[in-house]
Amino acid sequence: MGNQKILIVDDDPDLRQALRLRLRANRYDTVNAVDGYSAIALAYKEHPDLIILDLGLPAGDGFVVLDRLQRDDKLSTIPVIVLTARDPQSSEQRALEAGAAAFFQKPADNTELLDVIRATLPKGNAVGTALPS
Amino acid sequence: MNEQSTHILLIEDNPGDADLVRLRLVESKSAVDVSCVDCLSDGLASLAQQQPSVILLDLNLPDSQGAETFRKVRDKAPDVPVVILSGQDDEGLAMKALHQGVQDYLVKGSITSGALNRAVRYAIERQALLRSLEMSRKQQLEFKNQFLSHVSHELRTPLTCIHQFVTILLDGLAGEVSAEQRDHLQTILKSVNQLGAMVRDLLEASRVESGKVRIEPRCVAIGDLIRLAVAMMQATAREKQVGLEVGLDNRIPFVQADPDRILEVLINLIDNGVKFTPPGGAVTVQACLVPTDPDFVYISVTDTGCGITPEARPLIFERLYQDPNAVDNNRKGLGLGLFIAKELVGLHGGRIWFASEPGDGSTFSFTLPLYSLAKLLFPVITRQGCLRDAIVLLKVDLRPRSKPARGNWKDTCQHCLEILQRCVYLDKDLVLPPMATPGPEQTFLVVASTNMDRVQIMMTRIREQLEKIPDLKANGELALSAAAVTLPDPADPLEKQVQDIAHRVTEMARFALGVKQNSK
């Protein structure tokens, strides 16, 4: 059984790379999308086990992506964790109501984020293990 | 406002005075129409129908006297300018009313048509000017808040990037790190975290200022909160070789407070204390009851630091204030901590103050209202001076299905609480402020003025409503139960009966929560 696959959606290349390094170290495979449109396209093509989604995105912001995912039978089962620089007071409730499984404000605590990823991922072939700190 | 349509509402009970005013208005030959009423209630009724351009008001009316008259008029029509008609003997009162927002006053008996005309026109102009000033002040505030919110958002992205890559290096994900490199990386990380805290403070201060902070009061064990804050600050204190201690009264009752916000206040005060205390000194956090002020818990943070200079004292709670004389090698913050603390304590209905001697340390103290169940219960469980016939304590337990809880469990619980509040009758049931619990399990208690038969219907209704919440259905379990509260001796005074009930409910609640904690 292969590693679980996580789709990272963020328009900032450095943040994408940082997250990719972090997730790889925890034995997750990653795919990247830079905007809302390619996020949906990649979700179809790659069928990831989980999506980490920024809210401020070009070509369809995070809420548009959440809405599209929710309305698609094939995609609505993929859990989404929102990771954004936006203020939780204005966005958290809205993101959760739109179907996100969890909300993190950047910069997120890595341990906490990985815990929630592990708890949110569909069980079965869970392989993500924390590195000894 | 078009001069053709100047509409004046005259509220004056003396027909002679009223006629005189009318006469002067006619003499002034300006186009006005006047409606006249002779008591406040008719005046208020008229204001509810139509807002005049200006109100001419006698303060002493058959149904209202003095400043109270103006207050009632202003509450009804805050945007309409008011000119007072005062007698010769109460000019002092009229002067006082000017400070409360009256535009002008005229002394009856010496009113000329020119003066009256001028007073009316100026009152209208000044009121319009005031309103536009207020509008632009609000717009500026709104703009400033949007700007701050935008800036802090933009700052957060590069900050996140630095944070991420430093932790990647520190965690060895990019190869071995030497001890010296690790040291430098730790320094970077510390600075980034400071920067992050400043961005947070900036946003928090603007939010507090614009009234956008919501307080969600709960029944909080303040001692636990203090210990948590102290534990969180222990590393900072140790690094500076400052002792950090807790001193608590044995029996500190619960307070009614938002635990997240009060934790923020405590951390701000402790952080300040540590910052201004030299190595070898100590910071002590205490909580106690003060016999002369029995409705509040007093919390204080005492340091052995440099103290506050007399010049700094009046300014210390101001935004962005930093004591220029506080020579400190440590980096300063933005000077927002005490401002935020003051505002947050104020939102809880508490006070904050300090005592300090230069060179001899400072003590910052604040108060939080005691959680008084009897006070909350009184209007709910009594009716027409008697206790209700039957009272039941209903318990709603929420527990997450997995650990750690999936989804955003805290929000799910909050959502349940909101739904629960909509399932009860406001006049005879009370959803108790939830206990801040350490674990993810949450228990909500409702005191319901009903009997054990009818409470079943209520429980069915609550269950139906809560089960509609998708997050709860997916991630949690729900359990409901109810128990009758034994009623006290009806011969006792009502206050005593309510206190007895409050006492019993507290015991039952403690038992309900205690059992849950033991079964973990």
Digit-coded pLDDT (tens) for A27-69: 999 999 999 999 999 999 999 999 999 998 887 789 999 999 9
| Position A129 confidence tier, pLDDT thresholds 50, 70, 90 | very low
On whether any CB of chain B is under 8 Å from the CB of A61, the answer is no
Instruction: Write the residue in B157, B407, B471 that is nearest to A12 by C-beta.
Output: B157
What's the CA angle centered on A118, arms A116 and A123, to 5 degrees? 130
* Residue of chain A with shortest Cα separation from B172: A133
The residue in chain A having the minimum alpha-carbon distance to the alpha carbon of residue B150 is A86
B408 neighbourhood in chain A, CB within 8 Å? 92, 96, 101-103
CB nearest to B168's CB, from A18, A115, A133: A18
Rounded Cα gap, residues B240 and B410, in angstroms: 35
**A-B contacts at Cβ under 8 angstroms:** 72
Write out the two tokens for B61. 């009316």
Provide the strand spans (E) within B172-294: 218-220, 243-248, 255-257, 282-289
Alpha-carbon distances, residue A20 vs A8, A25, A108, B157 (angstroms): 8, 8, 14, 16
Element (H, E) at A95: helix A88-97
* Partner-chain residue, chosen from A19, A89, A102, that has the shortest CB–CB distance to B407: A102
Handedness of CA B419, B423, B427, B430 (dihedral sign): negative
Q: Quote the tokens at residue A37.
A: 């449109």
- Would you state the pLDDT for residue B199? 86
- Angle separating helix axes B337-347 and B259-275, nearest 10 degrees: 150
pLDDT value at residue B326: 57
Record: contact B408-A19, CB cut-off 8 A: no
Q: Do A119 and B157 touch (CB under 8 A)?
A: no
Buried/exposed code over A96-110 (b: 16+ C-beta within 10 A; e: otherwise): bebbbbbbbbbbbeb
pTM of the model: 0.61
User: Looking at chain A, which residue has its C-alpha nearest residue B164?
Assistant: A18
Contacts of residue B174 in chain A, CB cutoff 8 Å? 21
ipTM: 0.80
User: Which chain B residue shows the shortest CA-CA distance from A104?
Assistant: B408
Residues in chain A closer than 8 A to B157 (CB atoms): 12, 15, 85, 106
**What is residue B325's predicted lDDT score, i.e. its pLDDT?**
58
Nearest Cα of chain A lies from the Cα of B365 at a distance, in angstroms, of 29
Is residue B488 helix, strand or coil?
coil
Residue A17 has a pLDDT of 93
Tell me the shortest Cα–Cα distance from B156 to chain A, in angstroms.
6
CA-based nearest residue in chain B for residue A119 = B406
Q: Does A68 touch chain B (CB under 8 A)?
A: no
Decide if A89 and B212 are in contact by the 8 Å CB cutoff.
yes
Contact B156 A106 (CB under 8 A): yes
For A85, the closest of B160, B165, B404 (CB atoms) is: B160
What average pLDDT does range A58-87 have in this prediction?
Answer: 89
Indicate the SS3 state at residue B174. Answer: coil
Per-residue pLDDT at A128: 44
d(CA B279, CA B218): 37
Q: A33 — contact with chain B (CB < 8 Å)?
A: no
Q: Which of B168, B411, B471 sits opposite A22 (nearest CB)?
A: B168
Contact between B305 and B273 under an 8 Å Cβ cutoff? The reply is yes
- The alpha-carbon gap from A42 to the nearest alpha carbon of chain B, in Å, equals 24
Closest in A18, A85, A103 to B408, CB measured: A103
pLDDT at B226: 93
What's the pLDDT at B328?
Answer: 55
- 8 Å CB contact of B168 and A19: no
Q: Do B163 and A107 touch (CB under 8 A)?
A: yes
- Taking an 8 Å cut-off on Cβ atoms, the answer to whether B165 and A14 are in contact is yes
Position A82 scores a pLDDT of 95
Mean pLDDT by 10 residues, chain B (520 residues): 72 89 81 88 90 90 86 88 83 80 85 86 90 88 81 85 93 91 91 86 82 79 90 90 88 85 92 90 92 89 88 81 61 78 92 88 93 82 86 90 72 86 84 76 89 90 88 86 88 87 85 53
Minimum-distance CB partner of B203 among A87, A101, A116: A87
Cβ–Cβ below 8 Å for A85 and B153: yes
* Residue among A71, A58, A74, A108 at smallest CA distance from A88: A108
B→A interface, C-beta within 8 Å:
149, 152-154, 156-157, 159-161, 163-165, 167-168, 171, 173-174, 192, 196, 203, 207, 212, 402, 404-408, 411, 471
* Residues of B whose CB is below 8 A from A107: 156, 159-160, 163-164, 192, 196
Is B164 close to A15, i.e. CB distance below 8 A? yes
CB-CB neighbors (< 8 A) of A110 in chain B: 167, 171
Which residue of A28, A80, A87 is the best one to mutate when testing the B interface, meaning the one whose CB has the most B CBs within 10 A?
A87
Tell me if A27 sits within 8 A of A20, measured CB to CB.
Answer: no
CA distance B153 to chain A (A): 6
Q: Which of A14, A25, A96 sits opposite B411 (nearest CB)?
A: A96
| Number of neighbouring beta carbons within 10 Å of residue B225 | 22
**B170 to chain A: nearest residue by CA?**
A133
